[in-house]
Chains A and B, each alone.
Chain A
Amino acid sequence: MILGRAAPFTPLLIITLRTIAIVALAMVALFPLYWMLVIALTPTGLGRQVMTFFPTTPTLENFVTLFADRPMARWIWNSILVATLASAISLAFGTTCGYALSRLRFRGANLLLIAVLTTQMMPATSIIVPLYMLFRAWGLLDTMQGMVVGHISLVVPLAIWMSKGFFDSIPTDLESAARIDGCTHAGAFFHVALPLAVPGLAAIFIYGFVTSWHDFLFSRTLVTSQELWTAANGIASFRGEYFTLQELQMAASLVFAIPVVVVFFVMQRWIVSGALSGSIR
């Protein structure tokens, strides 16, 4: 009975506390982003003197400078090109390898999977020197193709694991049914397995895109010409030995974040749960 009387207040209290906690966490998470915006809207050279939470004389001159005086558009385009190609090619590799590892039974399959995973255990810094030597021998240094290949090597191992996991979750009976219904092995893959794996493939694409987009080490090491820099490389160039163009750096960082957000929102609609429900039992 006591519980019965107390019950109407309990959910309200919980909701209030939960809301306070969420707002506090959101503020902690979003404050750096907000501060980036404040600095980006501050006139060039005055970023260090900002003492208020709101910009006193907001200006877009830093954004204008980025695109008018600096090759920011070029760097962003390079990043988009490299990230899109690297994630798309990784997706193609990951999907086919993952499907094969999920469906084919052969000796050494588990060993192969572990070997693929082992490559993820190596820090990028430890493979950059051998990669540099390889790329020099292959003539891939200071080329966009080289950077794409480098990023693929970063993304593919996890893409294989992720896609194997997604294909494992699709009952093989669906493909068996498709083969009886008139499909070849490949037809069953394209008509049944692939459409059902779309949420997983979207997740792999996002992972590949973000990994490539954020890469600094490879683009800094494998590319030297300024016109081939990716945006990450370009943003770093605002930091000098004695002086940092903070306002430009913050403005560039905000611009840099936009494509990833767009990609995430575009791909998000493919990431739906329960795609398989109703297929069996």
Chain B
Amino acid sequence: MASVEFKSITKRYDALDVLNDVDISISDGEFVVFVGPSGCGKSTLLRMLAGLEPITAGSISISSEVVNALPPRDRDIAMVFQNYALYPHMSVGHNIGFPLRMVGTPKPEIERRVSEAAEMLGLTPYLARLPRELSGGQRQRVAMGRAVVREPSVFLFDEPLSNLDASLRVRMRGEIKRLHQRLGTTMIYVTHDQIEAMTLADRIVVLRGGKVEQIGTPLELYNSPASPFVAQFIGSPAMNIFEGTMDDECFVRITETRIALGTRPSGISSGAPLLVGIRPHDVALGDPGRGTLSGELQLVEEMGNARLLTIQVGGTSVQIETQHQIALLPGATVHLTMPPEKLHIFPK
């Protein structure tokens, strides 16, 4: 097990800054997920930790030792790739045992550890098969077996579930979580899927445009997003964001509606433009009156346990999630109430 530290990491390809002054500190045994949209630099950051990409500036430490100049094989890490990267000319058993053979582990020891890893991942019946004879989920498990068998200090996962179908993804997600609970090894996981991030992580690092947007536990990010980007990225359906202004006293103005806030947000002066966010399940349909927003119902999506309504409020498309049965038809005028304590205020 090991701690990992990224210090002022910058990555530049010619004139393009892929990562800019990134600082992340990961504790021993922690499960940290890097999440962000495509091109935000999350995979690059992971590959730099693995030693597969050179670092333009900054330093990476594993267990307090700077590893910038160490080749991948000397970093005591294991990595599961997005496309599995199984060696197609080797059987499952040879794939799993490959890292041990490369470091000269005695043959009986290799056989013991391979069969242990195969047992743990349910691969024992497939040890003699070639990767092409396996299903997607089994290949994914072989890739995990190859990582597990080394008993590394840090596990790296680069979007390992993105090629699996939805149900298999949920099952494999559970297996990865169980693996972490069982081994207690530091794991760093890259994904663009916020649900994977929320369900797996001890802490989430949200990246955007090569910079860290926010670091926190899943609930911290969900309940107290530091920016509209994090607010909209974490949580599904995404948080609604309205443009507004800070009225005098403790009111925000959205379109022509004044909504009372319990307390005045710090650092925002009267008249300042701001962004107001609210999660879809925190908005309620109500009667017309003070402090409600009016809009036109555009779409009703039935989800079984709830309904997702899309409503046009001024120039903003708003989604609300409600448990109640809806008898309204698209085109109807609806009134929205937004509890002040559920509002997230962001300076613009």
Q: Is A130 an interface residue (CB 8 A)?
A: no
With beta carbons under 8 angstroms apart, the residue of A179, A181, A274, A281 that contacts B136 is A281
| Set B52, B73, B139, B150: member contacting A278, Cβ < 8 A | B139
Instruction: Name the contact of B86 in the complex, choosing from A176, A187, A195, A279 (C-beta under 8 A).
Output: A279
Q: Nearest Cβ distance between residue A97 and chain B, in whole angstroms? A: 23
Contact digits for B62-87, partner A, Cβ 8 Å, 1 yes 0 no:
00000000011101011101111111
Q: Are A177 and B88 in contact (CB-based, < 8 A)?
A: no
1/0 contact string of A124-168 vs chain B (CB within 8 Å)? 000000000000000000000000000000000000000000000
Interface pair A181/B146, CB less than 8 Å apart: yes
Inter-chain residue pair count (beta carbon < 8 A) = 90
Does A183 make an interface contact (CB < 8 A)? yes
Asked if A196 is at the interface of the complex by the 8 Å CB criterion, the answer is yes
Pairwise interchain contact B86-A181, C-beta atoms closer than 8 A: no
How far, in angstroms, from A279 to B84 measured CA to CA in the complex? 7
**A278 x B130 contact (CB < 8 A):** yes
Residue A20 interfacial (CB < 8 Å): no
**Contacts A184-B71, A187-B102, A196-B89; is A280 near B83 (CB within 8 Å)?**
yes
**Would B131 and A171 count as touching, CB distance under 8 A?**
no
B222 interfacial contact with A, CB 8 Å? no
Q: Which residues of B contact A179 (CB under 8 A)?
A: 51-52, 71-73
Chain B, interface residues (CB within 8 Å), range? 20 to 34
Flag whether A80 is at the interface (Cβ < 8 A).
Answer: no
* A192 sits at the interface (CB 8 A): yes
Write the chain B residue with the least CB distance to A181: B99
Q: Is A225 an interface residue (CB 8 A)?
A: no
A192 in contact with B87 given A179-B71, A179-B73, A279-B131 (CB within 8 Å):
yes
Closest A residue to B142 using CB positions: A278
Return chain B residues, CB-CB under 8 Å to A184. 71, 73
Interface residues of A in 164-199 (CB under 8 A from B): 171, 173-174, 176-184, 187, 191-192, 195-196
Q: In the complex, what's the smallest C-beta–C-beta distance from B260 to chain A, in angstroms? A: 54
Residues of A within 8 A of B98 (CB): 178, 181, 191
Closest residue of chain A to B80, judged by CB?
A177
Across the interface, name the chain A residue whose C-beta is closest to B89: A195
B218 smallest CB distance to A (angstroms): 28
For residue B50, CB closer than 8 A to chain A, the reply is yes
Which residue of chain A is the closest to B139 with respect to CB atoms? A278
Whole-angstrom CA separation of A173 from B89 in the bound complex: 15
Whether B132 is near chain A, meaning CB under 8 Å from some CB there, is yes
A117 contacts chain B at the CB level, 8 A cutoff: no
Taking CB atoms, residues of chain B closer than 8 Å to A280 are: 83-86
Question: Can you list 12 A-B pairs, Cβ within 8 angstroms, ordered by A?
Answer: A173-B81, A176-B52, A178-B87, A179-B71, A179-B72, A180-B99, A182-B73, A278-B86, A278-B130, A278-B133, A281-B83, A281-B163
Residues of A within 8 A of B (CB): 171, 173-174, 176-184, 187, 191-192, 195-196, 274-281
11 further A-B pairs in the complex, CB-CB below 8 A; given A278-B133, A278-B139:
A174-B85, A177-B146, A178-B98, A179-B72, A180-B50, A191-B98, A196-B88, A278-B86, A278-B134, A279-B83, A279-B86
